[in-house]
Each structure stands twice: as C-alpha cells, then as structure tokens.
A and B are shown apart, each in its own frame.
Chain A
C-alpha cells in the first residue's frame, strides 16, 4: 500500500473564508488544529511559525487559534517542530499537544513514543499529529539561492510558494513565476533522497494538495483519533468534503507520486547500501514489500 494504512480518503477544505485565504491548500491543517484547540482535544500546538527572516520558519508553541492561523502556509524549508515538543510540555505546561509534521518528523515522533529516551512524560502527551505530504525539503540557503538566483526574485517579495504540475511556483504581489522541478534537484536535503514516505504514513491523519483541485486538499484519515476529530470538524460544519471519486485529478495521482518517490528512493538506498554507506533503511532485497516504509 503506497499510501500507508488509512481509513478513508476524501477531498476537503475549510469552510472558513479567512483560513481559505491564507492557507496553502484546503486549510485543513489550520482548521483542524484550531478546532481541536477549541474543543480542548489539545491545549496547544507546535506549528511552523513565522521567524525573523521571511520564509525561514521557527517552531512555535501556539496557544490560541490566532497563533495557529499566523503559521498557515507552507514554508519549503526545515522547521524543526519535533525539537519544540518537549518545550511545549515542559515550560508551556501543555498536557495534550497537537502538531503538524512532515513524514520524517512523524516518523521521529512515533519513534520517540516507542523509545521515550530523554523525553520522560513528553511522548505520552502528544495528542494529535496532522501529517502533511512531502516529496522533498530544502535547507534555507538552498531555497534562498534558487529563488533569488534562478528565479531572479528576492525572497522578501514572495507571498506564496508552491509545488505543483511538475513546477516550483512563487507568487509575488504582481507576478507568478515558475521553474521546472528538475531545476531544483540537487538543492534538496540529502536525506530526502532516501525517504520512503510521501504521505506521512504514521500520522493520525495526513493531508496535502495532490489529488484534489486547487483550493482543496486530499485527506487520509488513519488512526481512530485522527478519524474522529476529522468527522467532528465536518459535523461542526468547519470542513466540507467531497468523495475522491468526484474530484480531479483524484487519488490515482497521489498513488502514482507516492509510488514513484518510493521506487526512486529505494533505488538510491540500494545503491548506497551497495557501496557500503550507512542508510537507516533496509535494502529492497531484505524486504517483503520493497515499497514498505522501513
């Protein structure tokens, strides 16, 4: 199963106009975390908040819906959210922490929950992980370099960044620019080339743009907790949904991209293992399902 274990796949978006306006896709992450906060399912959330430099996020313990909203939108660089979970429990005093995590961060959190080494009383306080899809991520200097050098625009002028239709897009106040994704290759983090998870397979629920039309998100509900909170938000009228079968391009595209990522990166893993490099994954020959995420 290239999308991991999931209960339901739906196309969805937030019904809140303000969230629609500033969020990356369907505003699912912002809508769900705010809903969970209002319903006291969580008492705070670690999000990729704005930092001093434009587009360089700083993990933030958000204690209000406004703070969650202020962190909306994708930043295509590292935001070490996992690092801040401990602070959320300790100095912030949270007992039910929510967070948004890309797949590798989700794996880190689940590992931390299995082996709570150095995180005494932290791992058990993580109440909700909203996973977001991820093909690759860029160190900040990489991102800054290809935006300013290849696309010729200063990051300060950029209002939104996006990946879609094989291109990397930047929107400024008065123009939309793009370069083919191929041009960004080599700028991604080295680790992304051996990453087998596209859709945050271990999250409580996962979301991303691929599979749904613009302004909508594709949601995969996974755990009981994730499924239940999503249903509650839909029932409360905060999120509207459509069956995946009714939207274009549909789940097929998500499966295709997930499979491509796994195949390409498993090959890199195999190559690296063959020349004796340490890789935290098994060679395809050692696995029953060569596309499994381990």
Chain B
C-alpha cells in the first residue's frame, strides 16, 4: 500500500514550498516532488517599460536573502544590453561584494540547519560563530555596496563610487582577522555534518551539475539555446500538483540540473562527492574560497581608479543582455533588453532555486521520508522564483487562463 506524505510548507528555508512524497510500506520514498507555492509578485512586469536603472533597484527586492546576486545579475544584464564594459575597479568591487555575500549567506544557512546537525551543548558556540562571521561579512557589503541588504551602490556601468584607501585597509585587516575564525567555523560545521548520521548516499542523484563560474559568474557560459522551460503541468504529471505549483521548470540540455556550491565545486574545483553531506561540505568549504578571493581583491584594488564608466547612452540597441551570477544557491540569470527609446522592453530572471526545484523532489527518493526535509534543506532553497498563475472560474472552478507571470 502506498501512501502520500505532504510537508507544507517546508520549513527553515526562504519562501513557501511543498514536499509531496509517495512512500511504500516501509516508509521509503518512491516518488518525491518539490514545488513552489510562493505567490506571484510580478517584478519582471514592473520593470518593463521603465528606465534601465529601475531594474536593479526593483529586482534586488526579489529577495532579502540573496539581494546581492540579483542586483549584480540585473546590472550585468543591463551592461550587456547597453554595450557597457565597466572599468576594472568597478568589476573588482562587484566581485568583492559577492564574495562577502557568499560568506554571509552560507553562514545564515548554517543557522537554518543548526537544529539538524548541532548538538545541544554546541548550539551556542555554533550560533555565535554564525553571528560573528555575518557581522564581518555584512560590514564589507555595507561599505562597498552602500547597504547590507538591498545595496544602493551597485550600478549599471560599475559601482556608484570606489572606496577610500582607509576603507580598503580597514576591510583588508578585518577580513584577514576573520580568516582563522572562518577556518574554525568550517571545521566545526564539516565535523558536525559528518557526525550527523545521515545515511550513506542520502540525496545523491545523477542529474548534471551546472555552474557558470567557480565563484562569481560568467555570462558567456549561459547558452540560451541549451535552455528550455516547461510548464509545471507537463513536468509533474499529476494535475493537482501541476495546478498548485507556482514555478516553471527550467531545463539545461533538456534535463533538470543541480546548481549551487556543490555544482561549483564539481565543475571548477575537482569535487566528486554527491548528496546531502557533500552539499553541506561544499558549501562550508566555499566560505573559505570566497573569503580568500575577497582578500586578494582588496590586496589588488586601486582605490584611486574610477569604479564606473560615468555617463552612458540609455538608448539600447535592442540586444538581449545577459547577467549571469553565481548566487550562494546557484546560477542566477537575468536577461534584459533595452529599446531605442531608453526603456526596458523585456526582462526575465531565472533564479537559483528554480533550477534546483525539479531535481530536489526526486533526490528524496530511496530513503525514509523522515529524511525528506534534510534533502531539501541541503539545497538551501529560496523560493522567490518565477511564478505561474491560473485564472479559475469562481462558479465551476474551471481553468479560464493559464499564464506565466514572472517573479
């Protein structure tokens, strides 16, 4: 006798999602489906018809957990559409912002999974460690990008301004001092994950990993021809779930993929492991890589160089610009097209967790359903993604219209 277990909403993640698992007599998951139930906000529609500068300001509000990648992907999409190449210092400051954000965001995830992996007697230590790291990482984002949560100073053409030499030195000293702290934190988390008794192979799957870059992102990587998008109805096969699911299913080379820290480690750092434990370890290790990169940038940064191209022509060429950024949770793609009248004509965002959604459900299969939420949390999901709406007739509940309203 098969039974269906539903967890709705799944907890300790951003946004609202549902995990639907069919289980056999032993409670083992035979079919897992994960779907977004986050309601529509229409941000892509809001920015259409407005000045290109509007998009980064609005689109960073997609999410308060990873506003940095969205801002960066948005300005990079605009840069590309307008044919702008930001100066070196501008690019470095953008990268520095993202590196600090990786460290911050991964630390937040450790807070979210703490109840799963941290024993009672180490809880205070672990949480203090998260707070200490976040405080320092956010200090960098505050100073470099103007604001820790929704940064005001990441702009089309670069950054609003360079930082002062004093700020560079302060940040450098502070991040060097943070290094041993982060090393210790990573060791703590990695040790706890290994001690957590997750069954061997939990969460492992054979879907490909996709990452545009080891840490920052690369627009050349993302090939629009290899990308397809299917509606939830045809993906989930179950009409009930298809109707309820709010996101489209993005595929790369026709299949669902995994993005995020493990994907980056596999693609660029020779990492081989799969599954829940591997995802946690890859994420923790990435904090070290990101911090080292941030320090290297601060070492090299010329604070008297311009950080922005200055004035630019907002009259677009109609080119479809791409901004491809590796967010903490994976590849974040924004696409924008600015018309000759200087207004955004088209805007679309393929956000990190959307890529993972079709992979996450099946990844719960083959293990007891009690482990389902652990598999989900290992992706650090953030559900503020493309939203699918249907219009239903109030009287007979028939579907009048199906539409994709993005974000």
Contact residues of A with B, CB < 8 Å? 43-44, 61, 63, 86-87, 90-94, 120-121
**A93 in contact with B166 (CB, 8 Å):** yes
A43 to chain B, nearest CB (A): 7
In the assembly, what is the distance between CA of A137 and CA of B146, in Å?
30
Q: List 29 A-B contacts (CB under 8 A).
A: A44-B166, A61-B164, A63-B166, A86-B146, A90-B142, A90-B143, A90-B147, A90-B153, A91-B143, A91-B144, A91-B146, A91-B153, A91-B160, A91-B161, A91-B164, A92-B163, A92-B166, A93-B143, A93-B163, A93-B164, A93-B167, A93-B168, A93-B170, A93-B171, A94-B166, A120-B142, A120-B147, A120-B148, A121-B142
In the assembly, what is the distance between CA of A87 and CA of B146, in Å?
8
13 further A-B contacts with Cβ under 8 Å, apart from A61-B164, A93-B166, are: A44-B166, A87-B161, A90-B142, A90-B143, A91-B144, A91-B164, A92-B163, A93-B164, A93-B170, A120-B142, A120-B147, A120-B148, A121-B142
B21 to chain A, nearest CB (A): 42
**B163 in contact with A91 (CB, 8 Å):** yes
Total A-B pairs in contact (CB under 8 Å)? 39
**B167 in contact with A92 (CB, 8 Å):** yes
Chain A residues in 8 Å Cβ range of B171:
93
In the assembly, what is the distance between CA of A63 and CA of B169, in Å?
14
B306 to chain A, nearest CB (A): 13
B112 to chain A, nearest CB (A): 23
Residue B162 is within 8 A (CB to CB) of chain A in the complex: yes
**B148 in contact with A92 (CB, 8 Å):** no
In the assembly, what is the distance between CA of A182 and CA of B170, in Å?
51
Interface set, chain B 129-170, CB cutoff 8 A to A: 142-144, 146-148, 153, 160-164, 166-168, 170
Chain B residues in 8 Å Cβ range of A90:
142-143, 146-147, 153
In the assembly, what is the distance between CA of A121 and CA of B142, in Å?
9
Chain B residues in 8 Å Cβ range of A61:
164
Q: How many residues of B contact A (CB 8 A)?
A: 17
B298 to chain A, nearest CB (A): 12
In the assembly, what is the distance between CA of A87 and CA of B170, in Å?
15
In the assembly, what is the distance between CA of A276 and CA of B160, in Å?
41
In the assembly, what is the distance between CA of A121 and CA of B167, in Å?
15
A7 to chain B, nearest CB (A): 33
In the assembly, what is the distance between CA of A138 and CA of B166, in Å?
35
In the assembly, what is the distance between CA of A86 and CA of B151, in Å?
13
**B166 in contact with A91 (CB, 8 Å):** no
**A91 in contact with B167 (CB, 8 Å):** yes
| A92-B164 contact, Cβ under 8 Å, with A120-B147, A120-B148 | yes
**Nearest A residue to B307 by beta-carbon distance?**
A91
Chain A residues in 8 Å Cβ range of B144:
91
Chain A residues in 8 Å Cβ range of B146:
86, 90-91
Chain A residues in 8 Å Cβ range of B163:
91-93
**Nearest A residue to B164 by beta-carbon distance?**
A92
* Smallest CB-CB A-B distances: 10 pairs: A93-B167, A92-B164, A93-B170, A91-B163, A93-B166, A90-B143, A90-B146, A91-B161, A93-B143, A92-B167
Chain A residues in 8 Å Cβ range of B160:
91
Chain B residues in 8 Å Cβ range of A87:
161
B5 to chain A, nearest CB (A): 42
**B161 in contact with A43 (CB, 8 Å):** no
In the assembly, what is the distance between CA of A95 and CA of B240, in Å?
56
In the assembly, what is the distance between CA of A50 and CA of B171, in Å?
29
In the assembly, what is the distance between CA of A87 and CA of B153, in Å?
10
B90 to chain A, nearest CB (A): 13
Task: Indicate the member of A43, A87, A93 with the most B CB atoms within 10 Å.
Answer: A93
Chain B residues in 8 Å Cβ range of A120:
142, 147-148
B275 to chain A, nearest CB (A): 39
Chain B residues in 8 Å Cβ range of A93:
143, 163-164, 166-168, 170-171
